[in-house]
Amino acid sequence: MSVFLGIDIGTSGTKTLAVRADGTSLGSASAEYPLLTPRPGWSEQEPRHWADAAVQTVRQLVNDGAFDPSEVKGIGLSGQMHGSVFLDANHEVIRPALLWNDQRTAAQCEAITEAAGGREELIRMVANPALTGFTAPKILWLRDEEPDRFAQLKTVLLPKDYVRWTLTGVLETEVSDASGTLLLDVRNRRWSDELIGKLDLDGGLLPPVHESAEATAELTPKAAEAMGLPAGIPVVCGAGDQAAGAVGNGIVRTGVVSAALGTSGVVFAHSDAPQIDPEGRAHTFCHAVPGKWHVMGVVLSAAGSLQWFRNRLCMDLGDSAFDRITHRAEEVPPGCEGVYFLPYLSGERTPHADPHARGAWVGMNLRTDRAALGRAVLEGVTYAMRDSLEIIKDLNVPIGEVRLSGGGAKSPFWRQMQADIYHEPCAITNAAEGPAYGAAILAMVGAGAHASVEAACDATISVTDRIAPDERAAATYDALYPAYGKLYEALKPHFAAAAE
């Protein structure tokens, strides 16, 4: 029987998953690597660590006997979006990659907007406003701040595409990940020559762009030997982690929306046509499904806020801290007696696009204890996710079901809270492996095991649980939600002053 590998190059580590064509998981392996923070607001990694981790995790599965290497018929790649890998003429890395959560490029974002002729013109060209996390501002930062290195620059790759280069010797990307560079004409699924020209960049810096499930490269003998696999295995173009995660959760038809609560939180809605927010609050990118798009909102510190709460204020709770925090939070009534938490610990993307936003508890009183603070964190993150859902509704993208995934889907308490705060029916699927699973599904399609991405999802993904909103709790949250939105506007001047 055929085996397909999905390799997801994440921020904290790489995960490789082996699956059959029917979706049966044969095993997974992970490898971690460090995050570099040379200055406040800077976030970098060494690309070589990603490539080494990809080889290491595949080799581990082979050594564990998870499958017969001769059965591997396709490999799919997924990865953290927006990161910039700068290569010279010899395809050597010039400097550590700037990552999606790097905030150093505010001046370059302003320059891009001005060069485009204003925010509206920029959105017309590439469907999105300039944000510090995107790739294009990072290229301009290199030009502005490290001109000697920029003079060496010949190719810019995204993280997963650098790994593909090391495995196949092919320089390329695909539409879902390329959408997050701010250099893709998202409507027409090709590089925006118009914006590239206005920024005075060389279009030759960017690799060819394909659809996600296309098999355009093969595993080289050198990479195959290192992994313990046969040479020549097809490697599909893959997808950015959010599009791959959506495929892995079956978000491939209109009406099905994903709410993924990981370190960051993402609300992802499939769309048959490009639905562009004229205010630029949410992102409109190409989907990994050929000829389709998606609308996406991003909360930068979602489950990451809960992790911060555990690490900073609940150190005494030990290894079971997450379970104990949520258990205590259940004892606090919905709304936390007026205590709100703003989860902007690393700035925010949707809907505020504000790198200076900061986290805050508001409304504490003499009764407020650690249980209430913990519940407020969970509610605040979920309110932030609802912000994206409301934008999607404003764009007339239908919502019939919200599929929950990530760490926030593992807790029954947080699952119910999401259904209540979203005030939408929610569901859990049998697919819990995230972007790596979606990358493997794309590999199935590229290798011909399934006729389409939709057919592959139909064959491998099913709903295992449904969560209806508790109408009483939902009514409470509906009444409290508007005040949550007003808190950011009230505190915004203080955030800016603190940043200065």
pLDDT (0 to 100) of residue 500? 79
Residue 46 near residue 479 (C-beta atoms within 8 A): no
Separation between Cα atoms, residue 431 and residue 23, nearest integer Å: 9
**Dihedral angle at the C-alpha atoms of 366, 367, 370, 371, nearest 10 degrees?**
-160
Q: Which domains does the chain have, with CATH numbers?
A: 3-241 (3.30.420.40), 251-430+470-500 (3.30.420.40)
Residue 318 near residue 311 (C-beta atoms within 8 A): no
pLDDT (0 to 100) of residue 391? 95
Taking CA atoms, 82 is separated from 32, 85, 242, 327, in Å, by 20, 10, 11, 36
- Torsion angles phi and psi, residue 53, rounded to 5: -65, -35
pLDDT (0 to 100) of residue 263? 84
Residue 112 near residue 178 (C-beta atoms within 8 A): no
Separation between Cα atoms, residue 153 and residue 151, nearest integer Å: 6
Residue 241 is a catalytic residue: yes
Report helix, strand or coil for 445: helix
Report helix, strand or coil for 358: coil
Separation between Cα atoms, residue 122 and residue 124, nearest integer Å: 5
Q: What is the pLDDT along the chain (500 residues), one digit of tens a residue?
A: 899 999 999 998 999 999 999 999 999 999 999 999 999 889 999 999 999 999 999 999 999 999 999 999 999 999 999 999 999 999 999 999 999 989 899 999 999 999 999 999 999 999 999 999 999 999 999 999 999 999 999 999 999 999 999 999 999 999 999 999 999 999 999 999 999 999 999 999 999 999 999 999 999 999 999 999 999 999 999 999 999 999 999 999 999 999 999 888 999 999 999 999 998 899 999 999 999 999 999 999 999 999 999 999 999 998 889 999 999 999 999 999 999 999 999 889 899 988 889 999 999 999 999 999 999 999 999 999 999 999 999 999 989 999 999 888 999 999 999 999 999 999 999 987 889 999 999 999 999 999 999 999 999 999 999 999 999 999 999 999 999 999 999 999 999 898 87
Closest CA to 335 of 306, 376, 374: 376
Contacts of 85 (CB under 8 A, 6+ apart): 47, 93, 97, 156, 157, 158, 159, 161, 162
Report helix, strand or coil for 257: strand
pLDDT (0 to 100) of residue 498? 87
Please enumerate, by residue number, every residue annotated as part of a binding site. 81-82
Please enumerate, by residue number, every residue annotated as part of a binding site for substrate. 81-82
pLDDT (0 to 100) of residue 349? 87
Contacts of 499 (CB under 8 A, 6+ apart): 355, 356
pLDDT (0 to 100) of residue 120? 95
Active-site residue (options: 8, 241, 277, 387): 241
Contacts of 295 (CB under 8 A, 6+ apart): 268, 269, 271, 275, 277, 282, 283, 284, 391, 392, 395, 397
pLDDT (0 to 100) of residue 221? 98
Residue 30 near residue 15 (C-beta atoms within 8 A): yes
Separation between Cα atoms, residue 495 and residue 500, nearest integer Å: 9
CA 26 to the chain's CA centroid = 25
